[in-house]
Amino acid sequence: MANKFSRKYIFGLLAQALKQGLTPNKLAITCALGMVIGIFPIMGASTMICFGLSIIFRLNIPVMQLANYIVIGLQVICIVPFIEFGSYLFGLRAISYTGDQLVELFQNDFWKLVKDAGYALSGGVGAWFIVALPLFLALYFSFLFLFTRCRMTNSSQSVDPSL
């Protein structure tokens, strides 16, 4: 059995989804949406958002969660740039506390820390919304091309030309 994080295993799952009647269009939407939501700048929220959207739009839940989890490293990397971009775009004050200041705020003025972090995260979410649509479209058309080509390759291999 292949390693669950290997390229062969992941492509095998996607090929299996195509064979189970999932159209290339629906699979492309599922993967693109899962990846775009996967870089949402609030840790832990992307899993629930993907699950909810999968149910609402009747998308394949395991494939969407797989796409979501594939980009989790990118999510961690993108949190700070999204927050900084959002602070710049919306004119929010950037959070620039040292470690000692964070500890002091946590102990003495917890609600100020929550308020500042909330503003920063809301700016990050706003920046994510700006990036999300163009990224979704780019991923969608890339996946649609890939899955359509994969489906055509699989269907041509299953037909025996000698018959």
- Please indicate, yes or no, if residue 98 is contained in any of the structural domains: yes
- Please indicate, yes or no, if residue 63 is contained in any of the structural domains: yes
- Please indicate, yes or no, if residue 135 is contained in any of the structural domains: yes
- Contact at 8 Å (CB) between 72 and 35? no
pTM metric for this prediction = 0.76
- Contact at 8 Å (CB) between 51 and 61? yes
Q: What is the per-residue pLDDT across 60-108, written as a single tens digit (0 to 9) for each?
A: 888 899 999 999 999 999 998 999 899 899 888 777 777 788 788 888 8
Closest to 59 measured CA to CA, from 31, 18, 19: 31
Count the neighbouring beta carbons within 10 Å of the beta carbon of residue 47.
17
- Please indicate, yes or no, if residue 1 is contained in any of the structural domains: no
- Please indicate, yes or no, if residue 114 is contained in any of the structural domains: yes
- Please indicate, yes or no, if residue 46 is contained in any of the structural domains: yes
Q: In b/e form, how buried is each residue of 121-137, taking b as 16+ CB within 10 angstroms?
A: bbbbbbbbeeebeeebe
Looking at the structure of the chain, the number of domains it has is: 1
- Please indicate, yes or no, if residue 163 is contained in any of the structural domains: no
Domain assignment of residue 62, given as a range: 7-157
CA 34/CA 56 separation, integer angstroms: 14
Question: Residue 134 — pLDDT band, cuts 50, 70, 90?
Answer: very high
Q: What is the per-residue pLDDT across 108-121, written as a single tens digit (0 to 9) for each?
A: 888 888 888 888 88
Is 57's pLDDT higher than 80?
yes
Please report how many Cα atoms fall inside a 13 Å half-sphere around the Cα of residue 148, on the Cβ side. Answer: 8
- Please indicate, yes or no, if residue 2 is contained in any of the structural domains: no
